[in-house]
Amino acid sequence: MKSILPSKDVTRRGFLKGAAATAGVAIGSGAITGFPTIWAQNIKNVTLRQFGTGVSNINAVADKVKEDLGFTLQMTALDSDAVAQRAVTQPNSFDIADIEYWICKKVFPAGTLQPMDVAKIKNYDKISPLFITGKLTPESKIAQGTAPHKVGFVDGPDSTDFASAPTQWMTLIPDDLQRRYPGHSPRSDWPSD
């Protein structure tokens, strides 16, 4: 009899993907009912491990996540080089990697991060075109350096090669601090609210 189990060891990410798919099928079929109550009771024991540079590790965010969503967000602040190193060499040590676009260029090809399906990003259509096409307006010139659109998309859910144009699979999603606080320079004078 042939085993239906994969021959490789089960990874944390693979287990979570399988569990999520199974839960989705069970909920969608009606086999599980009343899930908001069940989930609300069980989520208090959930901890998501996030790491990034110091500017993304704001204690008030973790406090608000706990207050509003009921789970713990464990944040670890690292310098940029340590962020790149950890993302590549310790993929099982985090659930959320908050990396910068220039780091994405170094890290994503290692295959330790997973792209996001843009169909599941609620406000994808509200993301500045700067992150999608590299241009703020159709007449704009593309900037030097690691322009976000150059590392913003891959060809498929398992791809590690950057796409030359927008696809359904986005590598990073910009935060909304610039939209909330126009005129402030990122990383240097964000409001502390």
What local confidence, expressed as pLDDT, does residue 122 receive?
86
pLDDT in tens, 89-140: 999 999 989 888 889 999 999 999 999 999 998 888 888 888 888 888 888 8
Half-sphere exposure of 25 (CA within 13 A, CB side): 5
Say what the pTM is. 0.64
Could you tell me which residues are beta bridge partners of residue 180?
A: none
pLDDT in tens, 31-65: 444 434 434 556 678 899 999 988 888 889 899 98
HEC profile of 91-104: HHHCCEEECCHHHH
76: enclosing H helix or E strand? strand 72-78
User: In the chain, what are the helix, strand and coil shares in percent, each to the nearest 5?
Assistant: 45, 10, 45
Mean per-residue pLDDT of the chain: 76
What local confidence, expressed as pLDDT, does residue 56 receive?
80
Best CA proximity match to 101, nearest among 33, 35, 187: 187
List, as one string, the DSSP characters of 7-59. SSPPPHHHHHHHHHHHHHHHHHHTSS--HHHHHHHHGGG-EEEEEEEGGG--H
More confident residue, 188 or 77: 77
Distance separating alpha carbons of residues 94 and 12, to the nearest angstrom: 10
What local confidence, expressed as pLDDT, does residue 176 receive?
54
